[in-house]
Amino acid sequence: MDVDKAKTKRKLYVGQELEFRRDNMEVISPMKDGTVTDWDIVDNIWNHAFRRRLLINPEEHPMLIAEPSTNTAQQREKAAELMFENYKVPALFLAKNAVLTSFASGRATSLVVDSGGGSTVVSAVHDGFVLQKSVATSPVGGEFLTDCMMKSLESKGVVIRPRYSFKKKEISPGEYKIVDLDLPNTTESYRLYCMRAIASDIKESVCRVPDTAFDEVAYANVPTTSYELPDGQTIEVGADRFKIPDILFNPSLSQQTIPGVDGFADSMSVRGLPRMVIDSINRCDVDIRKELFSNILLSGGSSSILQLKERLEKEVLEESPQAARVKVMASGNSVERRFSVWIGGSILASLGSFQQMWFSKAEYEEHGVSYIQRKCP
């Protein structure tokens, strides 16, 4: 976002356009904890997707939009209004992320554990509908773990130089010297955005979910793994390789062992993954709990999700009723996991029986935007 204070008009750059540093460019996200906080930016992202990437005219295509299980009625109506008023779409349908992930795996009933960038959401899906009373959320997602990695490295004296802030100068064949660049008009948000991208790559490259709960003493002498930063310096990552992913299971680790990590707004309600799974299932009717225990689906793009699957299955089994058969499933293909919502959406939209479920433009004009709540429960 290029801020021109004189005109107070925003020039927006989307996606890959952020790779190039610009003076006074702020980086902002329209989402917080999976919920839209800036509809003007969402509108611009959609416009970019339709006109620049997909190269389509939205007036010629019905739109299926995936939404989080925690979406409010107000948010749903705003999305519908934007689609019908700004993009003149002929028809619209809003489907829950968890339902689409369940469809992608060929199931109509499952417990979906979606660990995304901004948050982790656990939702029970029964016969193709989310049971709202079962939805459990946590602010611990990929971005929070990236911040923990960054703060932990900083506390050990590691300096992460953003790629734009230096250049390599050859002083002799094969030998380079790092020269820092003076770029005073770089915003703090852009600097942090670039540093987080590097910290995220470190996290994805070296971290592994430990088989058992992380213990500072037990992991003190664990072998380190090397990682080369963009400026050429090589760092050694030891216990953090296992500590950072374990925050998913024990969120309090982040405050107890990593200096500078912000506390949660409501730390008492932030639970680890196994507890969230058990609590979500216990909020459902007794008749379907057994089926949910044996159909727990993991979605998300994490590279260590297969270790996460084994650990989660083990810990849920320890706390579940004796008669329950616990089965946690995750696709071995990271692309399928990352795009499970999209895959489920393509399956749903191609069903013959689905065609009568669209919320049409005629219905929108006749009944108003609130009718979306009846058409897309």
Q: What is the C-alpha separation between 272 and 305, in angstroms, rounded?
A: 16
pLDDT on residue 7 = 47
Neighbour count for residue 222 (Cβ, 10 Å): 15
Model confidence, pTM = 0.90
pLDDT on residue 323 = 78
pLDDT on residue 5 = 47
pLDDT on residue 27 = 92
Burial degree of 211 (CB within 10 A; 0-12, 13-18, 19+): exposed
Q: What number of residues does the chain have?
A: 377
Q: Which two tokens stand for residue 183?
A: 């770029």
Residue carrying the six token digits 């270790």 = 307
Please, are residues 322 and 290 in contact by the beta-carbon 8 Å criterion? no
pLDDT on residue 85 = 95
pLDDT on residue 300 = 76
Q: What is the DSSP string of 65-126?
A: EEE-TT--HHHHHHHHHHHHHTS--SEEEEEEHHHHHHHHTT-SSEEEEEE-SS-EEEEEEE
pLDDT on residue 266 = 64
Please, are residues 298 and 309 in contact by the beta-carbon 8 Å criterion? yes
DSSP state of 224: P
Please, are residues 362 and 356 in contact by the beta-carbon 8 Å criterion? no
Q: What is the C-alpha separation between 248 and 98, in angstroms, rounded?
A: 19
pLDDT on residue 265 = 63
Q: What is the C-alpha separation between 79 and 158, in angstroms, rounded?
A: 43
Residue type, 323: A
Please, are residues 297 and 111 in contact by the beta-carbon 8 Å criterion? yes
Neighbour count for residue 315 (Cβ, 10 Å): 21
Provide the residue-wise pLDDT of the chain in tens; the chain has 377 residues: 554 544 456 788 887 888 889 999 999 889 887 789 999 999 999 999 999 899 999 999 999 999 999 899 999 999 999 999 999 999 999 999 999 999 999 999 999 999 888 889 999 999 999 999 999 999 898 999 999 999 999 999 999 999 999 998 888 887 888 899 999 999 999 999 999 999 999 999 999 999 899 988 888 889 999 999 999 899 999 999 999 999 999 998 888 888 888 777 666 678 999 999 999 999 999 999 999 999 999 987 666 777 889 999 999 999 888 878 999 998 878 888 889 999 999 999 999 999 999 999 999 999 999 999 998 88
Crossing angle of the two packed helices 340-349 and 97-104, in degrees rounded to 10: 80
Neighbour count for residue 235 (Cβ, 10 Å): 17
Q: Is the backbone of residue 253 left (phi > 0), alpha (psi -120 to 50) or beta?
A: alpha
Residue type, 68: P
Q: Which two tokens stand for residue 278?
A: 């058990």
**First-to-last C-alpha distance (Å) of the chain:** 36
| Helix, strand, coil % in the chain, rounded to nearest 5 | 45, 20, 35
Burial degree of 16 (CB within 10 A; 0-12, 13-18, 19+): exposed
DSSP state of 33: T
Q: What is the C-alpha separation between 359 and 373, in angstroms, rounded?
A: 10
Q: What is the C-alpha separation between 358 and 288, in angstroms, rounded?
A: 29
Q: Which of 137, 100, 147 is nearest to 340 (CA)?
A: 100
pLDDT on residue 6 = 45
